[in-house]
Structure 1
Amino acid sequence: MLDVRRLRLLSDLERLGTIAAVAAVHSYTPSAVSQQLAALEREAGVALLRRSGRRVEFTGAGRVLVRRAATVFAALEETTAALAAVREGPAGTVRIGAFPTAVRTVLPAALVALGRDHPALELSVSELDPVAVPRALSDRRLDVGLLHDYDVVPAVIDPAVESVPLLEEAVHVAVAADAPFDTFADTREVDWILAGPGTLCHEVALRVTRNAGFAPRARHHVDDFDAVLALVAAGQGVALVPELATATLPDGVRLLDAPTRRRTRIGYRRGASDHPAVAAVVGSLQEAVR
């Protein structure tokens, strides 16, 4: 019989790419991970990996096993959820990951409702970029996480993660109140405040402007939307901001329509949707948005 813990190491290797990365996630040594994977091969009775220089590659059997592993992990989550449902109500620790604007606007009301309705829950919130949420869920560092994408940059589906819609919002171009233009197309000749390279927000700005036929003239790179809006008010450039970030708009800033929308979803490990604690958090987040 295959050892589930070793199967998870194999799955993580496919996801992370190197034995060293798998070892870091699990607080093992690379040698220990290699030994566990060798033991899994003996259990399977077939080679799962082959060496290619300093790297390892999956054999055909290894790729078949990794694909099947997702079904095994989902079944384990479903079983855990079924056992938890036998208890009287949602209980235990739930680790929630959310991006900063959601932490400020959506989570407070949800946390208050959860504390009132489900006092046996122990809630822990971490600020996290949505791009990092799928990995944090797979690594079991999170139980629930907020994901988002834009119509110009659709989400990449992670087979280990399930999700349900939370909200869809407009995206605006924040400009100085006295800026001498009124449309998105007018921003082609002005300075831009972009998010840091490698972030989803940075890629969205590049895609939206490219679709409009120009490249943004980047002057500043800032990730925090409050700081971005302060710079816009100071005449330092224009920037894309989602609707959630405009709840408290500083003086000296006005908003123009941008040709994209942002969609936020609530993610959790595949098979965990019926877990009482996960379902309670999902319900409270959706109610907070309503």
Structure 2
Amino acid sequence: MLNVPRLRILLELQRRGTLAEVARVMSYTPSAVSQQLSLLEKESGVRLLEPVGRGVTLTDAAIGLAAHAEIVLRQLEEAEADLASAQSAVQGTLRVASFQTVVFAIVPAVLDLLAAEEPSLTVEFDQLQVVAAYDGLLSHSFDLILGEEYPGMPEPVRANIDRADLAVDPLLLAVPSEAAWLPSARTDLAGLFDVPWAMDPPDSATGTWARSVCRAAGFEPRVRFVSPDPLMHAHLVRTGHAAAFIPALIAANQSDGLDLRALPGRPDRTIYTAVRAGRGGHPAIRAFRAALASTAAARTSEWNTADGLRIQNGLVTPETSLAP
């Protein structure tokens, strides 16, 4: 009988390419990974690895076995989900990775809701960007991740991933309510060609999208502040040091000192959850996704109150919906 943990090591080697990377994501030593793969070769009776320089490559037999391993691991997760569904309460620990704006704007309310409805479920969070989060999801470090997709930048389709869209979040232009470098006549994006900007790093999806929006408006932004932190962007705008693009999810509670404006075409990002394909039916996943959806819907409803925001005539003002 083939050993399932060793099959998982083989699958990780196919995904990551080196023994060192497998050791890193699985918290083993490279020698331990090598030893387990040698044992798997003995169990299978065929050669699985070929040396290439200082590394190894998978044989055709190993590639076929890795494909079977993926199916086996998915079916085992489905079995675990079925067993968990037979229990009277949702329980255990759910490991989640998310980018910052969701953690800041939605997650506390989600945790409050789950504490009331599913008190036996513990949720643990790591704040990570999407690529690193997917890396952890595939290596079983996380059970669920939250990701974001920007206009014109579709996320790659990933095999054996169960993705569910959660919310559509409008993207807004933020400028200081008062700044000497911002004449009141500048009311559109094209008029901000020579102002300082705060943006995400250029190699991130958010940073790439932000720069493309400015270029589409006819200028190269003068990016004076580079940070992946949208709260820092909002603070730099509020204190009169920069213009920035702010998601509505953040802007709704950070609008003091900001003039918020609609962007050409009213772009938005899609926020989604992703789990491994065999994990989607697990009660903890279902409960967490339901709490996220409920909280996101409530947050959208809040935008329809006096504490919310409204886009009207290109300006974003308090009091009603963000919907165009």
Structure-1-length-normalised TM-score: 0.91
In structure 2, what is the Cα distance between the partners aligned to 1:94 and 1:262?
26
Q: Which residue of 1 aligns with 2:193?
A: 188
What is the Cα deviation at residue 173 of structure 1? 1.8
Summarize the alignment of residues 49-88 of structure 1 with structure 2, pairs less than 5 Å apart: 49-88=49-88
Q: Which residue of 2 aligns with 1:248?
A: 253
Aligned pair partner of 1:198 in 203, 207, 211: 203
Q: Give structure 2 stretches of 5+ with no counterpart.
A: 298-324
Alignment partner of 1:270 is 2:260: no
Q: Rg bigger for which structure?
A: 2
Distance of aligned partners of 1:109 and 1:124 in 2 relative to their CA distance in 1, 3 Å threshold: same
Q: Give structure 1 stretches of 5+ with no counterpart.
A: none
SS of 1:28's partner is coil
Q: Which residue of 2 aligns with 1:167?
A: 167
In structure 1, what is the Cα distance between the partners aligned to 2:255 and 2:247?
15
Aligned pair partner of 1:222 in 224, 227, 234: 227
Conservation of the 8 A alpha-carbon contact between 1:232 and 1:239: yes
What is the Cα deviation at residue 11 of structure 1? 1.6
Distance of aligned partners of 1:159 and 1:211 in 2 relative to their CA distance in 1, 3 Å threshold: farther
- C-alpha deviations, 1:227-270, integer Å up to 9, x for none? 21121123322212211110223443212223532111112222
Q: Which has the higher contact order (CA 8 A, sep 6+)?
A: 1
The two structures, once aligned, show a CA RMSD in angstroms of 2.1
In structure 1, what is the Cα distance between the partners aligned to 2:18 and 2:220?
36
Q: Which residue of 1 aligns with 2:239?
A: 234
In structure 2, what is the Cα distance between the partners aligned to 1:88 and 1:272?
19
Q: Which residue of 1 aligns with 2:286?
A: 279
- Overall identity of the aligned pairs, in %: 36
- C-alpha deviations, 1:166-217, integer Å up to 9, x for none? 1011111212235342223333333221113433322222333344454322
In structure 2, what is the Cα distance between the partners aligned to 1:58 and 1:207?
40
In structure 2, what is the Cα distance between the partners aligned to 1:74 and 1:211?
44
Q: How many residues align?
A: 290
Distance of aligned partners of 1:73 and 1:207 in 2 relative to their CA distance in 1, 3 Å threshold: farther
Q: Which residue of 2 aligns with 1:261?
A: 268
Conservation of the 8 A alpha-carbon contact between 1:171 and 1:261: yes
Structure-2-length-normalised TM-score: 0.82
What is the Cα deviation at residue 223 of structure 1? 2.1
Summarize the alignment of residues 9-158 of structure 1 with structure 2, pairs less than 5 Å apart: 9-158=9-158
In structure 2, what is the Cα distance between the partners aligned to 1:102 and 1:186?
31
Conservation of the 8 A alpha-carbon contact between 1:230 and 1:250: no
SS of 2:278's partner is coil
What is the Cα deviation at residue 84 of structure 1? 0.8
SS of 1:131's partner is helix
